[in-house]
Structure 1
Amino acid sequence: MKKILFLVYCVFTFSTLSAQQRYELTDGWRCANIKEVQVGGSQISTVGYSLNNWMPATVPGTVLTTLLNNKKVPDPFYGMNNLQIKDVYDTGNAYYTYWFVKSFTQTAVGDEQIWLKLRGVNYKCEVFLNGKKVNAITHEGMHLRQQYNITKLLAANGENRLAILVYPPDFPGAPNGGQGGDGTIAKGLTTAYTAGWDWIQPVRDRNTGIWDKVFIEKTKGINLENPHVVTLVPGIRLPEGIQQPAMIRTSCEIENPLNRTVSGFIQYTLDGKVIKTAVALKSGEKKTVKLPDFELKNPKLWWPSGYGKQPLYKISFSFVDAAGKTADLENVQFGVREISTRWNEQTRSRENLVNGQKIFIKGGNWIISDAMLRFSNERYDAEVRFHRDMNLNLIRIWGGAIIERPEFYEACDKYGMLVFQDFWFSGDCNGKWQDPLKKDDQWIRRQYPDDHGLVLTAAADQIKMIRNHASLAFWCGGNEITPPDDILLPLKERILPELDGTRYFFDYSNTNDMSYNSIGGNGDGPYNIQDPKTFWSYKTYPYNSEVGSVGVGDYASLERFIPKQNMIAPQNGQEPDSVWAYHKYIPYDHHIDPYGKAKDARDFAMKAQLVNYDQYRALMEGFSAHMWDWYTGTIIWKTQNPWTSMRGQMYDYYLDVNACLYGTRKGAEPLHIMMNPLDSMLTVVNNGFATQRNIMVQASIYDLDGKLQDQVQAFAEIAPSTVQRMFPIQTQLKKMKGKDGAFVLLKLLNPQQQVLSENFYWLPGSDGKYTGLQQMKSAELKVTATKTTKGEIEVRLKNDATNTLAFFNRVALVNTTTGERILPAFYSDNYFSVLPGEEKMIVVGASEQGNTSLSVAVYGWNVKRQLFPIKK
Structure 2
Amino acid sequence: MKDVTQLSDGWGLRHEDTVLPARVPGCVHTDLLAAGIISDPFIGANEHDIAWVGDQAWAYTARLTADTAHERTDLVFDGLDTAAEITLDGKVLGRTRNMHRTHRFDVTGRAGELQVRFTPAREEAEAVRKTVGDRPNVYPEPSQYIRKMACSFGWDWGPTVVTAGIWRPARLEHWSTARIAQARPVVTVTGAQGRVEIHLTVERTGGGAGRLLTARASVAGTDTEVTFADGHALLVLDVPEPELWWPRGYGKQPLYDLTVALADGDDTLDTWRRRIGFRTIELDRTPDAYGTGFTLVVNGVRLFARGVNWIPDDVLPSRVTPERYRHRLTQAADANVDLVRVWGGGIYEDDTFYDVCDELGLMVWQDFLFACSAYPEEQPLRGEVEAEARENVVRLMPHPSLVLWNGNNENLWGFRDWGWEPELAGDSWGGGYYLELLPRVVAELDPTRPYTAGSPWSGSWDHHPNDPAHGTHHSWEVWNRRDYAEYRDSVPRFVAEFGWQAPPALATLQRALPGEDLAPDSPGMLHHQKAEDGNGKLDRGVARHFALPRGTGAGFDRWHYLTQLVQARAVAAGIEHWRSHWPRCAGTVVWQLNDCWPVSSWAAVDGDGRLKPLYHELRRLYADRLLTLQPTADGVALCLVNQAAVPWRAEVTVRRTAAEGTVTARVPLTVEVGARDAVRTPLPADLLGLDGEFLVADVDGLRAVYFPVPDREFPYARPDFDVRVESVPGAADTVDVVVSAHTLVRDLLLQPDRLAPDAVSDTGLVTLLPGEEGRIRVGGWAGPDAEQARAAIFCVEPS
Hey, what does 1:481 align to over in structure 2?
Answer: 411
Is the aligned partner of 1:209 residue 2:165? yes
Match of 2:626 among 667, 672, 681: 672
| Whole-Å separation in 1 of the counterparts to 2:558 and 2:378 | 47
What SS does the corresponding residue of 1:292 show, helix, strand or coil?
strand
What amino acid maps onto 2:334 in structure 1?
A: D
What amino acid maps onto 1:138 in structure 2?
A: R
Cα root mean square deviation, aligned: 3.8
What SS does the corresponding residue of 1:588 show, helix, strand or coil?
helix
Match of 1:168 among 116, 120, 140: 120
Is the aligned partner of 1:809 residue 2:749? yes
| Whole-Å separation in 1 of the counterparts to 2:712 and 2:51 | 49
In the alignment, is the contact (CA less than 8 A) between 2:222 and 2:239 conserved in 1?
no
Query: 1:624 Cα deviation (Å)?
Result: 0.5
Query: 1:183 Cα deviation (Å)?
Result: 4.8
Is the aligned partner of 1:146 residue 2:80? no
Q: How does 1:461-472 map to 2 (within 5 A)?
A: 461-472=391-402
Count of matched residue pairs: 751
What amino acid maps onto 1:121 in structure 2?
A: L
Match of 2:561 among 606, 611, 621: 606
How far does the alpha carbon of each residue in 1:348-399 deviate from its partner, in whole angstroms, 9 at most, with x for none? 1322211111121232222222112232112222222232233232222222
What SS does the corresponding residue of 2:719 show, helix, strand or coil?
coil
Structure 1 residues 488 and 568: alpha-carbon distance in aligned structure 2, compared to 1, 3 A threshold: closer
Query: 1:339 Cα deviation (Å)?
Result: 0.9
Q: Which one is further off, 380-389 or 179-188?
A: 179-188
What amino acid maps onto 1:666 in structure 2?
A: R
In the alignment, is the contact (CA less than 8 A) between 1:234 and 1:355 conserved in 2?
no
In the alignment, is the contact (CA less than 8 A) between 2:97 and 2:146 conserved in 1?
no
Hey, what does 1:122 align to over in structure 2?
Answer: 81
Is the aligned partner of 1:361 residue 2:274? no
What SS does the corresponding residue of 2:549 show, helix, strand or coil?
coil
What amino acid maps onto 2:705 in structure 1?
A: Y
Hey, what does 1:425 align to over in structure 2?
Answer: 370
Query: 1:140 Cα deviation (Å)?
Result: 2.3
In the alignment, is the contact (CA less than 8 A) between 1:446 and 1:484 conserved in 2?
yes
What SS does the corresponding residue of 1:781 show, helix, strand or coil?
strand
What amino acid maps onto 2:144 in structure 1?
A: A
Query: 1:223 Cα deviation (Å)?
Result: 1.4
Query: 1:86 Cα deviation (Å)?
Result: 3.3
Hey, what does 2:418 align to over in structure 1?
Answer: none
Hey, what does 1:639 align to over in structure 2?
Answer: 593
Q: How does 1:335-484 map to 2 (within 5 A)?
A: 335-346=277-288, 347=290, 348-373=292-317, 374-426=319-371, 428-430=372-374, 446-447=376-377, 450-481=380-411, 484=430
Question: Given the two structures, how large is their TM-score scaled by the length of structure 1?
Answer: 0.77
Structure 1 residues 835 and 115: alpha-carbon distance in aligned structure 2, compared to 1, 3 A threshold: farther
| Whole-Å separation in 2 of the counterparts to 1:314 and 1:597 | 57
Is the aligned partner of 1:62 residue 2:27? yes
| Whole-Å separation in 1 of the counterparts to 2:306 and 2:96 | 39
Q: How does 1:530-569 map to 2 (within 5 A)?
A: 530-536=482-488, 538-539=489-490, 541-569=492-520
In the alignment, is the contact (CA less than 8 A) between 1:200 and 1:583 conserved in 2?
no
What amino acid maps onto 2:277 in structure 1?
A: G
| Whole-Å separation in 1 of the counterparts to 2:684 and 2:19 | 72
In the alignment, is the contact (CA less than 8 A) between 2:8 and 2:170 conserved in 1?
yes
Q: Which one is further off, 271-280 or 352-361?
A: 271-280
Q: Which runs of 5+ in 2 are unaligned?
A: 128-135, 413-428, 794-799
Hey, what does 1:5 align to over in structure 2?
Answer: none
Structure 1 residues 450 and 622: alpha-carbon distance in aligned structure 2, compared to 1, 3 A threshold: farther
| Whole-Å separation in 1 of the counterparts to 2:172 and 2:663 | 68
In the alignment, is the contact (CA less than 8 A) between 1:247 and 1:293 conserved in 2?
yes
In the alignment, is the contact (CA less than 8 A) between 1:114 and 1:218 conserved in 2?
yes
Hey, what does 1:109 align to over in structure 2?
Answer: 69
Structure 1 residues 577 and 424: alpha-carbon distance in aligned structure 2, compared to 1, 3 A threshold: closer
Q: How does 1:558-637 map to 2 (within 5 A)?
A: 558-569=509-520, 578-579=526-527, 581=529, 585-586=534-535, 587-593=537-543, 594-598=545-549, 600-629=555-584, 631-637=585-591
Query: 1:702 Cα deviation (Å)?
Result: 5.8
| Whole-Å separation in 2 of the counterparts to 1:844 and 1:302 | 35
| Whole-Å separation in 1 of the counterparts to 2:728 and 2:64 | 49
Query: 1:518 Cα deviation (Å)?
Result: 8.7
| Whole-Å separation in 2 of the counterparts to 1:560 and 1:730 | 52
Match of 1:190 among 143, 148, 172: 148
What SS does the corresponding residue of 1:524 show, helix, strand or coil?
strand
How far does the alpha carbon of each residue in 1:136-178 deviate from its partner, in whole angstroms, 9 at most, with x for none? x322222211123444225xxxxx754322222244569xxx9
| Whole-Å separation in 2 of the counterparts to 1:676 and 1:461 | 47
| Whole-Å separation in 2 of the counterparts to 1:763 and 1:501 | 50
How far does the alpha carbon of each residue in 1:70-129 deviate from its partner, in whole angstroms, 9 at most, with x for none? 2222222222221222347xxxx8x52211123578855356x54432111122223344
Is the aligned partner of 1:97 residue 2:49? no
What amino acid maps onto 1:26 in structure 2?
A: S
Structure 1 residues 795 and 234: alpha-carbon distance in aligned structure 2, compared to 1, 3 A threshold: farther
| Whole-Å separation in 2 of the counterparts to 1:359 and 1:476 | 19
| Whole-Å separation in 1 of the counterparts to 2:787 and 2:377 | 54
Match of 2:790 among 863, 866, 871: 863
| Whole-Å separation in 1 of the counterparts to 2:604 and 2:741 | 34
Structure 1 residues 779 and 215: alpha-carbon distance in aligned structure 2, compared to 1, 3 A threshold: farther
What SS does the corresponding residue of 2:152 show, helix, strand or coil?
helix
| Whole-Å separation in 2 of the counterparts to 1:396 and 1:546 | 10
What amino acid maps onto 1:118 in structure 2?
A: F
What SS does the corresponding residue of 2:516 show, helix, strand or coil?
helix
Question: Given the two structures, how large is their TM-score scaled by the length of structure 2?
Answer: 0.84
What amino acid maps onto 1:96 in structure 2?
A: Q
Q: Which runs of 5+ in 1 are unaligned?
A: 1-18, 37-52, 155-159, 236-243, 282-286, 431-444, 750-754, 846-852, 867-872
